[in-house]
Amino acid sequence: MELLATLIGNERIRPQKMIPTLCLCQESTEMAAHALKYLEWAVATPHGAHDVDLHNLLVVLYAQFRPKRLHEYLIKCGLDKTAIPYDLDFALRTCVQHKLEKSTVYLYCVSEMFSDAVDLAIKAFDEEGINMAKECAHMMDPDEEDVIMGLEPKYPVEQRRRIWLKIAEFVISKDANASKSIALLKESGDVISIQDILPFFPEFTKIEDFKEPLCECLRE
């Protein structure tokens, strides 16, 4: 492991040649710590920045030993699946294997599998998952520049509507509160309406329960 420490900063040896040695570092936390330090340096160099194998190994070691840092790394890499430096399918399988639900939700969004992302968020995290699911839905919001230019949104309204309906159904199943439900309509950017969510409420719910929340919404 001293070898890895001495190699940090040495750009004469290509990081790719160290992959067999780095793979052996999965045997212990101490060895993995040294490998991660080297990999973090390597992927920041011109030779390693776009090397998929190095990034995949970084994903594996993060998943095993630094799951929080993995999530930070994935977010830093962004949502554009054509620009990410790691193999998306490999990263997704790795996160599923290690039961890293939060990172799996994010990778579903990178994969544009928003329905799966929302399903996992509300299943794995329950109440906390509601906010996570909303974040996933907002990733489908139209780009402001596209709106200004009058371009078609990347994700059609109907696709966004299905995602928000899924969230609304879960929210109402937890708390059939009219005020919260009206707030959710606004939060969706009005892609869902009061008529859309009424079937999710218990049969004994009265229309009067929505009168004040709707009036408040109109006043705002």
Q: 52-106: per-residue pLDDT in tens?
A: 999 999 999 999 999 999 999 999 999 999 999 999 999 999 999 999 999 999 9
pLDDT digits (tens, 9 = 90+) for 16-57: 998 998 999 998 999 999 999 999 999 999 989 999 999 999
Burial of 102 (0-12, 13-18, 19+ CB in 10 A): buried
- Closest CA relative to residue 18, chosen from 51, 46, 50: 51
Percent of residues, the chain, with pLDDT higher than 70: 88
The model's confidence at residue 175, banded by pLDDT at 50, 70 and 90, is: confident
Over residues 197-213, the mean pLDDT reads 71
* Spatial separation of the C-alpha atoms in residues 113 and 4, rounded to whole Å: 38
Residue 218 — very low, low, confident or very high, per pLDDT cuts 50/70/90? Answer: very low
Tell me which H or E stretch contains 133: helix 114-138
Q: What is the dihedral of CA 162, 167, 168, 171, to 10 degrees?
A: 170
**Does the reported pTM lie above 0.85?**
yes
Residue 195 — very low, low, confident or very high, per pLDDT cuts 50/70/90? confident
Confirm if 53 and 19 have CB atoms less than 8 A apart.
yes
**Tokens (6 digits) for 132:** 């996570």
Q: What is the mean pLDDT of residues 132-145?
A: 92
